[in-house]
Amino acid sequence: MRIIKRNGSEVTFDVEKIVNAITKANAEVPSDERLSTKQIRDASDKVAELCQDCGHTPAVEEIQDMVEDQIMALGAFNVARKYIIYRYVQTQKRAGNTTDDRILSLIECNNEEVKQENSNKNPMVCSVQRDYMAGEVSKDLSERMLLPADVVRAHNEGIIHFHDMDYYVQHMHNCALINLDDMLQNGTVISGTLIEKPHSFSTACNIATQIIAQVASNQYGGQSISLAHLAPFVDVSRHKIRRTVISEMNGLGVEPDPEKLDKVVEDRVRAEIRRGVQTIQYQVVTLMTTNGQAPFVTVFMYLNEAKNEQEKHDLAMVIEETLRQRYQGVKNEQGVWITPAFPKLIYVLEPDNIEEGSKYYYLTQMAAKCTARRMVPDYISEKIMKQDKLSKGEEPGEGDCYTCMGCRSFLTPDRSGNGFNNVANAKNYDPTKPKYYGRFNQGVCTINLVDVACSSHRDMDEFWKIFDERLELCRKALMCRHNRLKGTLSDAAPILWQYGALARLKKGETIDKLLYDGYSTLSLGYAGLAETVRYMTGKSHTDPDGGTDFALQVMQHMNDKCAEWKKETNIDFSLYGTPLESTTYTFAKALQRRWGIIPGVTDKGYITNSYHVHVTEKIDAFKKLKFESQFQRLSPGGAISYIEVPNMQDNLEAVMTVIKYIYNNIMYAELNTKSDYCQVCGYDGEIKIVENDGKLVWECPNCGNRDQSKMNVARRTCGYIGTQFWNQGRTAEIRDRVMHL
């Protein structure tokens, strides 16, 4: 059995340390009040048993709480008092160097919590360590000096989660939709160098990757670009290539035949597209930003974004090549094709690509084939999104279709009616169209719904009272994010605020006008709806006899609060289905510390993402998607649903059936499969999760390899693909997932 020390490092549990600690406290009290040697041993063994059964790797502080409880259970209150005093004195001694200890353990790669915090960061790499070191200092400053004490306390107790505290000291925002169209068409500046409008598709792709890297280094969340913004440069290349071919033929004294000329030109155009798409794929995978991570970027593929039929035709070619290259994958160190994590791909289902016989149906077939092998693209239904995302004056079915920022964070619909009157000074401003590219999210705070439920002790009146108190705490935390951004000068991140990614503000100008009127958003996250309903009603939230109704009431209540806050502040608060990664484990551990093991509620090393059906609940794919669609509508700030499927590469007809169902029933969904490779033996099937000395580890079922550096594991973590390894809670959640198809 393992435990986590205060500096985050993981060591083997040693019951003798508990025996020694109790013995020392015992020696300081009068002999008639002392515990016997047997009582000390029994109390220590009981703590060891509780640690074994707690459902997660316990921290030292938890173990010391257990020790206190066991001493007091024996009636040795004076011994317990001495033990508590000893703990307090030791805590005071450590208070000055906790951050130092965590940084040192991090550098030595002995900090298990940090090592498993992000499944797409390698903690062995110097740039990642540097980012984590800065993060520890930032957290320390934030907790001691910048954030309100009640917000810090609630965060540390797992009642709420103040996201990305390690970036709070700096004036940075969360995620964004990059206005790539403006930057490419009207020029931008990168590192003091003017970048003018590109004269070919491949050059446009190269500039796009530079923009992606720059943006990733100036924010801490996901970013999205659209292939529709690159598509116009296909025709730029076409005209350039045509001139070159004609010149070559004239040089040879050959009169070009129109049909042959067209064929040669189009062949070269496709070669140009291939090079450009390859640039994006390989640059994104190999680029490393200042936080030691490949840019968290999403590529949006939406045919109806094209401005005319020629552009749509060219966009279709770009999408086709993107899918083809992603299907192939990228090579690992052994030269084997594997599944990369980024860029994440989103493919929009629309009338001209969803029905057999439609013009672009072949693209959807390619997407299905790619999904079956590489887990992407994910799918947005234009039909459903246009019912739910309504800009000012739009009717259901005539709304907007746009991409999320990263894996699931959605902007609120443009409520301005005139593209926000070009508050960002974009050069591609169109007052007749809703504005999405160039907008962003200010930050996230997530409420632990399960703790609200447990704190109420199943008293419904108390539940709603505590719920409101916790929501107000989240609002307070979110306003901290907002106020931290207020007054930020555009000079802080020129690529974002001055050179078109988000705005073209003047030097020395603040970004304040972009924080109001719905231009940007603040996200109220939530987690554990399934466990909350289970605790309060005794039923699954999929149960139509009371469970579902209560779940919908909880969701509606959070939406009502967001609307109330929006009215009071003129800031768009929006309800967000939090993509728990490390937080799923953090919340689960906090719940077990506070409430013990409650079957079906706190008995796992994780809690459920947002509104999702619990990963262990047996439900078929179509029922799951249909059920969760109603919660997506109530999670406008961010939502994604998934189904867990086996290897579908030989059953593409079934994949197409699911895709068509998504189009007609749910706004945003994905299919989860497996894509693994063992570098030791060459096994390319599913690498399994096994238990070793109380810890979950990954093991090749073919050769038994457990060396994480010698295997490639790709799993959908929480909307995006993770390719490193996960904390124990997330690993347990992955292990427990049931098939839906």
Does 204 score more than 90 pLDDT? yes
Asked whether the beta carbons of 627 and 619 are under 8 A apart, the reply is yes
43 within domain boundaries: yes
Q: Of 414, 441, 443, 430, which is closest to residue 502 (Cα–Cα)?
A: 441
151 within domain boundaries: yes
Classify residue 598 by its DSSP letter: -
488 within domain boundaries: yes
Amino acid at 395: E
**Rounded CA separation 519/52 (Å):** 50
Q: How many angstroms from the chain centroid is the CA of residue 16?
A: 41
Q: How many angstroms from the chain centroid is the CA of residue 730?
A: 13
**Rounded CA separation 649/641 (Å):** 21
Q: What are phi and psi of 711, to 5 degrees?
A: -150, 155
CA dihedral 703, 709, 714, 719 (to 10 degrees): 150
DSSP strand pairing (668-672 vs 378-381): antiparallel
**Rounded CA separation 700/494 (Å):** 47
Query: Taken in order 603, 604, 605, 607, is the CA torsion positive or negative?
Result: negative
Give mean pLDDT, residues 90-97.
59
- Whether residue 461 is found in the same domain as residue 570: yes
- Identify any residues that bridge with 608 across adjacent strands, giving them in sequence order: none
Does 120 score more than 60 pLDDT? no
Return the pLDDT at 7.
Answer: 57
Does 449 score more than 80 pLDDT? yes
Tokens of 606: 């994780």
Q: Of 586, 222, 271, 282, which is closest to residue 409 (Cα–Cα)?
A: 222
Domain span at residue 8 reads 2-95
Q: What is the 3-state secondary structure (H, E, C) of 341-409?
A: CCCEEEEEECHHHHCCCCCCHHHHHHHHHHHHHHCCCEEEEHHHHHHHCCCCCCCCCCCCCCCCECCCE
Q: Of 6, 116, 23, 103, which is closest to residue 63 (Cα–Cα)?
A: 6
Q: What are phi and psi of 137, to 5 degrees?
A: -65, -40
- Whether residue 553 is found in the same domain as residue 468: yes
**Rounded CA separation 706/713 (Å):** 12
- Whether residue 54 is found in the same domain as residue 159: no
- Whether residue 87 is found in the same domain as residue 155: no
Assess whether the previous peptide bond of 377 is cis (omega < 30° from 0): yes
Helix (H) or strand (E) holding 223: strand 223-226
Does 293 score more than 70 pLDDT? no
Classify residue 691 by its DSSP letter: E
Lowest mean pLDDT among 18-32, 429-443, 645-659: 18-32
427 within domain boundaries: no
Does 110 score more than 70 pLDDT? no
Where among 634, 665, 693 does a domain terminate?
634
Does 289 score more than 90 pLDDT? no
Amino acid at 715: R
% the chain with pLDDT above 90: 73
Query: Taken in order 59, 157, 600, 582, is the CA torsion positive or negative?
Result: negative
pLDDT digits (tens, 9 = 90+) for 627-652: 999 999 999 999 999 999 999 999 99
- Domain containing residue 542: CATH number: 3.20.70.20
- Whether residue 78 is found in the same domain as residue 153: no
Where among 30, 60, 95 does a domain terminate?
95
Give mean pLDDT, residues 395-422.
96
530 within domain boundaries: yes
644 within domain boundaries: no
368 within domain boundaries: no
pLDDT digits (tens, 9 = 90+) for 476-516: 999 999 999 999 999 999 999 999 999 999 999 999 999 99
- Whether residue 597 is found in the same domain as residue 536: yes
Classify residue 510 by its DSSP letter: B
Tokens of 563: 């609307």
Give mean pLDDT, residues 157-177.
95
Does 670 score more than 70 pLDDT? yes
Asked whether the beta carbons of 604 and 696 are under 8 A apart, the reply is no
Q: How many domains does the chain have?
A: 2
Q: Max alpha carbon distance in the chain (Å)?
A: 114
- Whether residue 602 is found in the same domain as residue 472: yes
Q: 3-state DSSP call for residue 245?
A: helix
Helical H segments across 74-189, by residue range: 77-94, 98-107, 112-115, 126-141, 149-156, 180-186
What is the DSSP annotation of 51-99?
Answer: HHHSSS--BHHHHHHHHHHHHHHTT-HHHHHHHHHHHHHHHHHHTTTHH
- Whether residue 153 is found in the same domain as residue 56: no
Higher pLDDT, 443 or 341: 443
Give mean pLDDT, residues 715-723.
79
pLDDT digits (tens, 9 = 90+) for 586-626: 999 999 989 989 999 999 999 999 999 999 999 999 999 99
**Rounded CA separation 496/178 (Å):** 9
- Whether residue 16 is found in the same domain as residue 152: no
- Whether residue 588 is found in the same domain as residue 456: yes
Query: Taken in order 504, 507, 511, 513, is the CA torsion positive or negative?
Result: negative
CA dihedral 568, 573, 574, 575 (to 10 degrees): -80
**Rounded CA separation 374/167 (Å):** 32
Q: Of 410, 405, 385, 378, which is closest to residue 177 (Cα–Cα)?
A: 405
- Whether residue 605 is found in the same domain as residue 474: yes
**Rounded CA separation 171/515 (Å):** 13
% the chain with pLDDT above 70: 92
Where among 634, 668, 699 does a domain terminate?
634
152 within domain boundaries: yes
Asked whether the beta carbons of 412 and 404 are under 8 A apart, the reply is no
Lowest mean pLDDT among 129-138, 259-268, 545-554, 556-565: 129-138
Does 451 score more than 90 pLDDT? yes
**N- to C-terminal Cα separation, the chain:** 36
**Rounded CA separation 31/600 (Å):** 46
- Whether residue 543 is found in the same domain as residue 613: yes
In 484-544, DSSP assigns E strands to 521-527
pLDDT digits (tens, 9 = 90+) for 62-78: 898 899 999 989 988 88
Return the pLDDT at 44.
Answer: 93
pTM of structure: 0.88
Phi-psi region of 600 (alpha: psi -120 to 50; beta: other; left: phi over 0): left
What are the Cα distances from residue 236, in Å, to 198, 396, 472, 647? Answer: 9, 37, 53, 41
